[in-house]
Amino acid sequence: MKANRKAIVNHRARLLSKYGLPSHEKRFGTEEKCREFIASVRWTDGIAECPQCGNTHMNYFLTTRNIWKCSSKSCRKQFSVIKGTIFENTNIPLVKWFKAVFYFTVMKRGISSCQLARNLEVEQRTAWFILHRLREVIAEEGDIQLSGVVEADETQIGPQVSKDTRLQEAKKLHDEKQDELYGMSKKKKRRIRGEPAKRGRKKGSTKEVLADKKAQRESEKITKGERVPFEKDKIILGMMERDGRVVFKMLGLSNKTRTKEKIYPYLKKHISSNSFFITDDLNLYDDTKFIFRRHETVNHDVQFARGFIHTNNIENSWKHLKKMMDGTYFHASYYHFNRYLIEQAFRWNRLNESNEVLVDDLLKKIVGKRLKYFELIRKESSSNKLAG
């Protein structure tokens, strides 16, 4: 077993070492080479097709401007090879775009917009937009369906408030606003007055005491409303084929989003009903035995695995995902978070492929995936208002 694993690692190392930045620049070192590659991806038969009317007969190339012109009398539109791709209307040289594709695909933990801006010698917001346009290309990676033996688990990803002064200030403002709306909690009142916390319990049976506390909480909710806790952790659902592909989905910003109403639609969409489904012993998954062919659980308080029954693969993916988010994208916004999850899934699902195949695979998906900057910003701002 160890020998086979070592052979796989050595095979991956050989694949990665054959295609680096020098080899990439040799392939796509000029604008002409980049345009030729895009043309070969768009028009596999070598005939330029007008994106406006679909005409393929006698379209001619204007060498002085590097554009095509439609020969149809009813159209006569001019078009370039990047029309209808993620490169449309760009002022950035294609050489830099292709270099951004290389960095985006081969960096194991991703690449930040600041680092990419330095590498490409562009502004940070330009690099940020480039990365999001590349994520738009691989958006379909979040719609795949898994089969066979499938593991599922949840985790939470978020910044540590104690180590981020901006979050500390945001939490302070949030708590003050909650105090104005619902009043201070008893714990906070005691802390301000300097009174010690009351110990012991009320007289009566356990059921009576719990019933009184529950009734008191419900009455406070009705009269004052329920306080909203300050939560910045994103709750992530992961589904993975045994030694295969993975799908990540964000459930929300609170542990309250770990519900059947949130999780089950993703399970039905991304996992085949004929699958062997494995999870931990969380009672949320009890009803999945009616959805999939077989459902088994493992109790992590007792053991990590019961032979073949374990969730070690999906838990291993959490480590890599958190390293990417904590080390590279530690200021990722709530609205765009699913894009970063898809990015990580894209790399994970192609672990055994070489850098060259990764680059070519992404470049073959560029047609029909245009993303405009104002749309990206507008959606983000409206989402932040709703989330905040």
Tell which residue, 341, 373, 101, has the closest CA to residue 234. 341
Within-domain flag for 74: no
Helix (H, G, I), strand (E, B) or coil at 314: helix
Start-to-end C-alpha separation, the chain: 50
Within-domain flag for 186: yes
* 162 contacts: CB under 8 Å, gap ≥ 6: 168
Q: Tell me, yes or no, whether 153 and 270 share the same domain.
A: yes
Q: Tell me, yes or no, whether 97 and 245 share the same domain.
A: no
pTM reported for the whole predicted model = 0.79
Q: Tell me, yes or no, whether 194 and 113 share the same domain.
A: no
pLDDT-derived band at 59, boundaries 50, 70, 90: confident
224 half-sphere exposure, CB direction, 13 A CA radius: 16
Q: Tell me, yes or no, whether 175 and 251 share the same domain.
A: no
Residue 11 confidence (pLDDT): 56
Residue 249 confidence (pLDDT): 94
Range from 67-71, 212-216, 247-251, 312-316 carrying the lowest mean pLDDT: 212-216
Residue 387 confidence (pLDDT): 42
Residue 7 confidence (pLDDT): 58
Q: Which residue range(s) make up the domain with 282?
A: 145-158+233-336
Q: Tell me, yes or no, whether 244 and 152 share the same domain.
A: yes
Residue-wise pLDDT tens digits, 202-257: 556 677 767 777 776 666 555 556 677 777 788 999 999 998 899 999 998 888 88
- Please, what is the average pLDDT of the chain? 83
Burial of 110 (0-12, 13-18, 19+ CB in 10 A): buried
The total number of structural domains in the chain stands at 3
Q: Tell me, yes or no, whether 114 and 191 share the same domain.
A: no
Q: Tell me, yes or no, whether 151 and 177 share the same domain.
A: no
Are the beta carbons of 86 and 372 closer than 8 angstroms? no
Q: Does residue 360 have a pLDDT over 50?
A: yes
Within-domain flag for 241: yes
Within-domain flag for 313: yes
pLDDT-derived band at 158, boundaries 50, 70, 90: confident
Residue 167 confidence (pLDDT): 80
Residue-wise pLDDT tens digits, 9-28: 555 555 555 788 999 999 99
> Helical H runs in the chain?
2-17, 21-27, 31-42, 94-106, 113-120, 124-137, 165-182, 186-193, 206-224, 260-270, 312-327, 337-348, 355-363, 373-387
